[in-house]
Structure 1
Amino acid sequence: MASNEQSATFLPLNVKLRVTLLALTLWLALWLWQLPGYWGATLFALALSLWQIWRLEQSINQERQRFQQFLVALKQGNSNNFISQDSTLSDELLEAYQQVSQALNAQKTDQATQLRYYQTLVETSPVPLFSLAEDNHLRLHNHAARQLLPNLTRSQELKQFGLPFATSITALQPGQRQLLLFDDGTEQRQLMAQMTCLNIGQESEKLFSLLDIQRELEAAQLQAWQDLVRVLTHEMMNSITPIASLAKSAHDLVQHMQATTPTPNEDLHDLQDATNTVARRADGLMEFVQRYRSLTLLPEPKIQTFSVLNLFQRCLSIIQPTLNVKNTTCTIQCQPENLTLAADPHLLEQVIINLLRNAQQALDQNNTQSGAIRMQASINNKREIALTICDNGPGFESTRLSDIFLPFYTTKPQGAGIGLALARQIMTVHGGSITANNAAEGGARFTLIFNRQTCA
């Protein structure tokens, strides 16, 4: 052991000594070759020189093999074990190996930390990210993408969210942005799609990002409608108020004239009818404008945590007398039964009752026999609470689906066109959304989605 340590310590000196002795041996062989009669000594000196060259080459090969083993250990991450197990290294080589090993380990640690950092950023990003390879293989890169496009592996599977969506997204050009309609069977949303090309070695991929801007679009649209209604109702109130006041004064004056005139004539009767009609219509217009002002005077929601099942039961108890008269059944399904929701229960009751009344009116207009309404509550695959109101009536005309939430739009003969617009506004202030579509089994279906809600 002592000789090995001494050899390891003086390895550079031994190398220099071997080279020096080899040079002296070669010089001795050359000097003996010039002297007559020393052929044996000359051959011995040459043989000794060859042996020294072989030993020097063997030492160099040994160091080369040791260096190769060190590189393999670096690649496998076992450089520290290699250094500690090799006791023949000189102090200079040992220090050099340790410095190289420490530098590479620190670089690998830093790279691994940065990789975990960027992986965490991508994984927690709310923007779904996925890529398409040249063989149409689809890869989902974060949690948002796995929620939006669950279990997708091929680009052909994008058709399940609508053929226009699949066609448009695969036709995107690098850097191009396009607004796409995404339909997952329960909800239609507007998604802003963008594509970027990635070159990885000899392969290339298309990286797609999908930004859900449906809530922002609805909020902007709702704000625009509120501003419009606010201006219109203000101007209408300014114009109708004096008309209603003058019509009332004229009506009272005619009544006084009739009471004080001994024999009222026909013209006075006509004038009374005219002023009465104007006053009545002015009051009707005032009430009409006041109803539309409710779209701009919605109170701030008072958030409470309550049972969804109890909410359904309260709404059903309010509308149950009407359902009994119309011979309509209403069922409640809540999964799980202890599902809770954080929202304003009074505003939400207003939305659900309005939807139940709409369902009943649709059944009445279609003269549906054995009318059925169903209220459902569940947690979807995105951990959002979804409340559904559906019926077995005629459903919606496809050309009118995009208009039913617009203020003033109605398909009812006596409708005012504010019920669904108000429901949409209530859902917007809750950070959620309301959608309408035709159920697969027939009839209309309204879905209320509450974002980032969890069951108790």
Structure 2
Amino acid sequence: MAYNKFRLRVLLRFMLLLAITGGFWYVLLYRHWYITAFCLFLVLLALLFDLFHYLEKTNRELVRFFSAIRYEDFTQRFPNETRTGSFADLYQELNNTIAAFQRIKADKEANHLYLQNLVAHMRIGIITFNEAGEVNLMNQAAKDLLQVPHLTRIHGLQRVSPELTEAMETLENEESKLVVLNRSDEQLLLTVKASTFRLQGQALKIISLQNIRSEMEEKELDAWQKLIRVLSHEIMNSITPVISLTNSLGTLVEAELINRENNEEPDEEIVQDIRTGLETIEKRSAGLLHFVEKYRKLTRIPNPRLQPLNLNELLKGIQQLVQRNFRENGVILQLQLPDAPLLLQADGDMLEQVIINLVKNALEACQECPAPQVEIKAYTDPQENNRVKVDVKDNGKGIPEEILDQIFVPFYTTKRHGSGIGLSLSRQIMRLHKGSLRVSSTAPSQTVFTLVF
């Protein structure tokens, strides 16, 4: 409808222009009315100007509209003509579009303000910077941790901690590192984690900083308490009978010395008791020495020799290695592997030691259950950035909840002949591979140990 009105107005202007042009030539050539002809010429120029101005009006308004969008000037408004105006619909749509952009900008600014306040109130320090090292964001928690009121370039943290600066610049996506930061008032233990992304074609890195000193000290104290309880238990079990035997042997030796003073023959029974007591003391001392050797082994794990490793082939080899033992004990062993090989940088011998230990524990856990079964499953977890995982699951009685947090404590064991260092060693080996060893148990149905790489 508006387009029809526009064409009609252009047509009327064009017809009027033709009529004036005809009148101009008529009065000039046939009537020789020169003044009238001059006046008609001026009218003709005015009509031409009006026609071009009318035709270019749409272009001018569109240029003004797109300039407003380009420079985000959403205060621009187009005139509201009467309902019969030819540009009324166009102006109305332009105004509606600008209003929509204005709402989008307002929502964007509100979200930005919300995120700014959220980041500012976080207790974890947040720093973002680009490839050139220019800092885009630094929240108050980061300023307080680093005692830096303002930071424009990440390299400016060299005076605070060169190690921390290097960690921020070299850490890749989803990598983390512990950094010790010495401040004037205290020493901090910072966990530094990096995350990279691209925003409008620009590569940015987010660094999170968290002081875990108090948490680490609490965990360390708890670990020491658990370890001391276990060590005290083992040492007391060895020393108590030795002390008791020593007292008994002392009494026997005194009796034998009295017999010697009276020139009596040695009592063979007393001599045998002394010999037996000394053998028992030797045995308990050897047991205590063996315990100390196991402790030394636990604290002297060599660094892994990282090499390309096909996890699928490693697990197949472990299955062949333990399959006979499983058949002899009437336990089913299942292995689930993905079609594509899972490739790692790892020490094959150390990982084999860890998985065999877990598989043997699973075998012992479900051996006395009906239809015992152990399952080894390797996969990538999409919920954790496709990290490689290996589950060792058994359908045994499970681990009671009250001792679930104790099983990784060195020398803690619920087995009659267990050493109590297998799971602790396994967890340390996984940590050396920058992974972890997790456990979940639902007593009395199943237990799952998970290796996370």
TM-score using structure 2 length:
0.46
Q: Comparing both chains, which one has the higher relative contact order based on Cα–Cα distances under 8 Å and sequence gaps of 6 or more?
A: 1
TM-score using structure 1 length:
0.46
